[in-house]
A and B are shown apart, each in its own frame.
Chain A
Amino acid sequence: MARRLIPVALLLVAAAGCAPADEQAPAPAATGLTNCSKDQLTTKTPGKLTIGTDDPAYEPWFKDNKPDNGQGFESAVAYAVAGKLGYGPADVKWIRVTFNNAIAPGPKDFDIDINQFSITDERKQAVDFSGPYYLVRQTVIALKSSKIAGATSVSALQGAKLGAQVGTTSYQAITDLVKPTAKPAVYNSNDDAKKALQNGQIDGLVVDLPTAFYMTAAEIKDSVIVGQLPQVGVPEQFGIVLDKGSALTGCITQAVDQLRSAGTLSSLEKEWLAQAAGARELT
């Protein structure tokens, strides 16, 4: 089943990489990276790239808990990075590593690990990070019954009572981007804010996208993601994890940086987060 899907996934990845003409950099050559081709890299298994992620791997980062199907944002990013280094889909080997083990110091079973790791200074003490492949966006969630559940633009949120946790980028997104007419409600924790949303005391709650997926899927009944807000403040960054001092870090970072400047990352983000996962962009 999974095998049959790989070519499809690749097609999708390829299509995503080329589709928007305006974001397309001059055709990236497979040899765009210096000293970073498959035969020059020392990986766990020669000729193969071993990629780790957690079990289960959640949507929309992966699909159906099958990282090797190329579907879901992080799976697609992983295959795109592998492709940049010259590893075909058949050369990618997935293994399961729990989140905490992946960032613990000590020997690693993977070459790279992709699992929504935020890049932090504390973690950098124990592991290497690639350049960021995703900048965390702020997202509005609401109850299905809320008057803003169907909003498609930032301006449609201005008449709403919005809430956020104190001292967060989410609060900054309300005051700097949305600028609602009603004073925002500010809570000590997202738990308090969730309660207020469930009670209907606020029309919408602003949280970061990963939290929004979790809240709407698992925590708040009958809630939806209204949409993603434009980038604001200093966003949290997701990076690919490598062993501390790994020989691959430089190459992986180059690959990620090229995918970003070529617009591949943002089209994958649109495809798997905005469209497939229903977190549309509010403009």
Chain B
Amino acid sequence: MSGQVSPAQLDRIRYRRRQTVISVLIAAASTFVVGVLLVVGVTGAPGWDRVRESFLDPSVAWDALPDIAEGLWLNIRLLFFCAIGSLALGLLVALLRTLRGPVFFPVRALATGYTYTFRGLPLIIVLYVLTLGVPGLRLRGMPSVLVLGGIALVITYSGYLAEVFRAGIESVHPSQLAAARSLGLTYRQTMRHVVLPQAVRRVAPPLLNDTVALQKDVGLVSLAGPIDAVRAAQIHTAETFNYTPYIVAGALFVLLAIPLIAVTDWVTLRAARRQS
């Protein structure tokens, strides 16, 4: 391609640029108007001063921040291990559920029962049973409450993730399996090289979505004693009779979620581009 551009094309480029500028300006103006309306609407409310004092007090926020940040570190560590654990277990359960052949019926039945049970069972009950019930057995070498709580999260979330994986596996057209088998690949090789790479790519957005959801639920281990970010905020709220610590914890959680959500969006976009 040479650098030659026809005058008509130049016009088109200029026109498009102008249109872009105009739409950016319009968007900015409309955002500004909506923003002003929101601020006026909220701050103009008769109870605004009271709400601001009890939810947005900077000195309370500053005092609570170190404890909440320390609690958040617990959330982050739990999220890391639970995400890995539930992705691994979820994939395993999904694979077991998609095994063919009558000989594997018990395995399939177990895996199906697993997804039914742990998607149906409220997480808080699984947590209670594992963190306060299981230690009651007083077995030797009982892991810490955090590990037990992590296990509860992993077995619950892997139930959801298994179904996402299964949807991905089953979305790969049967003709591909037939083709792979006719090439002489074993069932395992077919899964490993043909089905799973496509399946995982297709379901990456919902998988990441569940991981974002997990991020909020890891804090529930606090019901067994450990102090996570929300619990730390609750303690400060109880001491000060001011709800600002919750807002601080909320803001930190959103900050924590932004990278994950951004990755999800990026993966989704990339998947969409590849398919089109």
* B78 vs chain A, min Cβ distance (A): 15
Query: When the two chains form their complex, are residues A201 and B235 in contact, meaning their CB atoms are under 8 A apart?
Result: no
* B245 vs chain A, min Cβ distance (A): 12
Query: When the two chains form their complex, are residues A198 and B235 in contact, meaning their CB atoms are under 8 A apart?
Result: no
Query: When the two chains form their complex, are residues A196 and B132 in contact, meaning their CB atoms are under 8 A apart?
Result: yes
Q: Say which residue of B132, B138, B225, B239 sits within 8 Å of A186 (CB atoms).
A: B225
Query: When the two chains form their complex, are residues A192 and B223 in contact, meaning their CB atoms are under 8 A apart?
Result: yes
Query: When the two chains form their complex, are residues A188 and B223 in contact, meaning their CB atoms are under 8 A apart?
Result: yes
Chain B residues near A166 (CB-CB < 8 A): 231, 234-235, 238
We find that the number of chain B residues with CB closer than 8 angstroms to chain A is 17
* A107 vs chain B, min Cβ distance (A): 37
Query: When the two chains form their complex, are residues B227 and A195 in contact, meaning their CB atoms are under 8 A apart?
Result: no
- A200 at the A/B interface (Cβ < 8 Å)? yes
- B136 at the A/B interface (Cβ < 8 Å)? yes
Interface of chain A residues 4 through 35 with chain B (CB within 8 A)? none
Choose among B132, B225, B235, B239 the residue with the greatest number of A CB atoms under 10 Å from its CB: B225
* B127 vs chain A, min Cβ distance (A): 11
Chain A residues near B222 (CB-CB < 8 A): 186
User: In the bound complex, how far is the Cα of B234 from the Cα of A167, in angstroms?
Assistant: 7
Closest to A198 in B: B136
* B14 vs chain A, min Cβ distance (A): 64
User: In the bound complex, how far is the Cα of B237 from the Cα of A184, in angstroms?
Assistant: 17
Closest to B226 in A: A185
Query: When the two chains form their complex, are residues A192 and B132 in contact, meaning their CB atoms are under 8 A apart?
Result: yes
Q: Known contacts A166-B235, A167-B235, A186-B222; decide if A200 and B132 are in contact (CB<8 Å).
A: no
CB-based A-B contact count at 8 angstroms: 51
- B85 at the A/B interface (Cβ < 8 Å)? no
User: In the bound complex, how far is the Cα of B245 from the Cα of A166, in angstroms?
Assistant: 15
- A272 at the A/B interface (Cβ < 8 Å)? no
User: In the bound complex, how far is the Cα of B131 from the Cα of A202, in angstroms?
Assistant: 12
- A100 at the A/B interface (Cβ < 8 Å)? no
Query: When the two chains form their complex, are residues A201 and B145 in contact, meaning their CB atoms are under 8 A apart?
Result: yes
Interface of chain B residues 217 through 261 with chain A (CB within 8 A)? 222-227, 231, 234-235, 237-239
Chain B residues near A186 (CB-CB < 8 A): 222, 225, 227, 231, 235
Q: Say which residue of A163, A184, A201 sits within 8 Å of B135 (CB atoms).
A: A201
Choose among A167, A172, A186, A188 the residue with the greatest number of B CB atoms under 10 Å from its CB: A186
Chain A residues near B223 (CB-CB < 8 A): 187-188, 192
Q: Known contacts A166-B235, A171-B235; decide if A199 and B225 are in contact (CB<8 Å).
A: no
Interface of chain A residues 120 through 177 with chain B (CB within 8 A)? 163, 166-168, 171-172
User: In the bound complex, how far is the Cα of B142 from the Cα of A199, in angstroms?
Assistant: 11
Chain B residues near A44 (CB-CB < 8 A): none
Chain B residues near A196 (CB-CB < 8 A): 132, 135, 224-225
- A183 at the A/B interface (Cβ < 8 Å)? yes
Query: When the two chains form their complex, are residues A199 and B135 in contact, meaning their CB atoms are under 8 A apart?
Result: yes
Query: When the two chains form their complex, are residues A195 and B132 in contact, meaning their CB atoms are under 8 A apart?
Result: yes
Q: Per-position contact with B for A185-209: 1 when CB-CB < 8 Å, else 0?
A: 1111000100110111110000000
* B230 vs chain A, min Cβ distance (A): 11
Choose among A168, A187, A196, A201 the residue with the greatest number of B CB atoms under 10 Å from its CB: A201
User: In the bound complex, how far is the Cα of B237 from the Cα of A166, in angstroms?
Assistant: 10
Chain B residues near A184 (CB-CB < 8 A): 227
Chain B residues near A163 (CB-CB < 8 A): 225
Chain A residues near B237 (CB-CB < 8 A): 167
User: In the bound complex, how far is the Cα of B226 from the Cα of A186, in angstroms?
Assistant: 6
Chain B residues near A202 (CB-CB < 8 A): 225
Closest to A201 in B: B135
Interface of chain B residues 129 through 167 with chain A (CB within 8 A)? 132, 135-136, 138, 145
User: In the bound complex, how far is the Cα of B136 from the Cα of A199, in angstroms?
Assistant: 5
User: In the bound complex, how far is the Cα of B146 from the Cα of A185, in angstroms?
Assistant: 12
Q: Say which residue of A167, A168, A185, A198 sits within 8 Å of B225 (CB atoms).
A: A185
Lowest 10 A-B CB distances belong to which pairs? Answer: A167-B238, A185-B225, A199-B135, A195-B132, A199-B136, A188-B223, A201-B135, A186-B227, A166-B234, A186-B231
Q: What would be 5 A-B contacts, judged by CB atoms less than 8 Å apart?
A: A163-B225, A166-B231, A186-B222, A192-B224, A202-B225
Q: Please name 8 further chain A to chain B contacts, defined as beta carbons within 8 Å, in addition to the given A167-B235, A185-B145, A186-B231, sorted by A numbering.
A: A163-B225, A184-B227, A185-B224, A186-B227, A188-B223, A195-B132, A196-B135, A201-B135
